[in-house]
C-alpha cells in the first residue's frame, strides 16, 4: 500500500552529512534534521548549507544524554544551549526559523521510562519532571509537526499532543552501526525485511496497534532515520526501497 512518509533524521552532523544532504536533495526529499549541539558547533558551515538547501534543522539536545538520567536543570540546559546555537545559525543563513522542533535523545521524555513511551510511569516526581520539560519547550516556542494521515490511535491521542516530535516508524538502520548488528538486524537485508513486515519489532515496547508497518496499514508514517557514517549505505538503500514501493515523502 502506498503511504505518505514524514522523514525525520537524528544525530546531525556526521562525516557523511554533506553527502546525505545532496542525496536527499536529488530525491527531492525535504525533511527535519535533528542536531546534536556539541557536534553542530564544530560544523556550523555545514548547517548553513543544509538551511540554504531547504532542510529544517531541529534541536536534539546539546550532548545527547538520556533525559531520564539527568536533572531537570541539566535537561533545560541541554535544550537551551542548542536552541541558542540554532537561533544563531538560522540568522547567519538568513532563513526565518518559523518552525521550531525538538526531539529527545533516544525518545526519552525524561519521565524515567527511558524511551518506553507505551508504558506510563507511576512515579509522580518523574511525571512532574516530564511536564516541566514540556512546559519549557512550550515557552521556547517548540511545537509538534503537522502530519496529516497518521491515523494510529496512540499517535493522535498521545504522541502528537506533546511538544516534542516523536515517530511512528523507526527504520532501525542504526543497528548496523555495530559490526555485529543489534536486535537480530545484521545486514541491509534484515533492515528491509523488518521495515516492510506487518508488525516490525519496536524498541519502545509493544506498539498498541493491531497492525503496524510501512505497507500494511492505511496510516501514513513519521519515519525515524539517523545521520551516521557507518550506516549511510543502508540509509540510502532503505530510502530507495521505500520510493520503489510507491511511498511518497511529504514536505514539511
Give per-residue pLDDT as tens, 138-192. Answer: 999 999 999 999 999 999 999 999 999 999 999 999 999 998 999 999 999 999 9
State mean pLDDT over 232-249. 96
| DSSP H or E stretch at residue 205 | none
pLDDT value at position 100? 98
Domains, the chain, ordered by start: 4-249 (3.20.20.370)
pLDDT tens, position by position, 121-137: 889 999 999 999 999 99
**pLDDT surpassing 90 at residue 225:** yes
Average pLDDT of every residue of the chain: 95
Provide the strand spans (E) within the chain.
Answer: 4-12, 32-35, 56-59, 169-170, 221-226, 248-249
Q: Is residue 186 within 8 Å of residue 127, measured between CB atoms?
A: no
**pLDDT surpassing 70 at residue 88:** yes
**pLDDT surpassing 80 at residue 204:** yes
Closest CA to 59 of 121, 129, 119, 136: 136
Task: Map grid coordinates 502528537 to a residue.
Answer: 160
pLDDT value at position 1? 59
pLDDT value at position 215? 60
Amino acid at each position: 500500500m502506498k503511504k505518505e512518509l514524514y522523514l525525520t533524521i537524528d544525530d546531525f552532523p556526521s562525516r557523511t552529512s554533506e553527502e546525505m544532504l545532496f542525496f536527499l536533495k536529488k530525491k527531492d526529499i525535504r525533511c527535519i534534521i535533528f542536531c546534536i549541539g556539541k557536534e553542530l558547533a564544530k560544523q556550523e558551515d555545514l548547517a548553513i548549507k543544509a538551511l540554504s538547501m531547504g532542510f529544517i534543522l531541529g534541536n536534539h539536545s546539546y550532548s545527547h544524554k538520556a533525559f531520564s538520567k539527568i536533572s531537570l536543570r541539566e535537561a533545560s540546559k541541554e535544550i537551551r544551549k542548542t536552541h541558542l546555537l540554532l537561533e544563531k545559525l538560522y540568522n547567519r543563513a538568513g532563513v526565518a526559523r518559523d518552525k521550531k522542533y525538538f526531539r529527545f535523545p533516544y525518545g526519552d521524555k525524561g519521565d524515567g521510562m527511558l524511551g518506553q513511551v507505551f508504558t506510563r510511569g507511576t512515579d509522580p516526581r518523574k511525571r512532574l519532571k516530564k511536564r516541566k520539560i514540556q512546559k519549557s519547550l512550550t515557552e521556547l516556542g517548540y511545537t509538534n509537526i503537522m502530519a496529516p494521515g497518521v491515523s494510529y490511535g496512540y499517535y493522535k491521542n498521545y504522541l502528537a499532543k506533546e511538544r516534542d516530535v516523536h515517530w511512528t516508524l523507526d527504520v532501525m538502520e542504526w543497528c548496523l552501526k555495530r559490526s555485529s548488528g543489534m536486535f537480530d538486524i545484521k545486514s541491509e537485508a534484515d533492515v528491509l525485511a523488518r521495515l516492510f513486515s506487518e508488525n516490525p519489532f519496536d524498541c519502545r515496547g509493544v506498539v498498541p496497534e493491531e497492525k503496524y508497518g510501512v505497507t500494511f496499514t492505511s496510516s501514513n508514517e513519521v519515519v525515524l532515520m539517523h545521520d551516521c557514517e557507518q550506516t549511510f549505505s543502508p540509509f540510502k538503500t532503505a530510502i530507495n526501497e521505500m520510493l520503489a514501493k510507491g511511498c511518497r515523502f511529504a514536505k514539511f
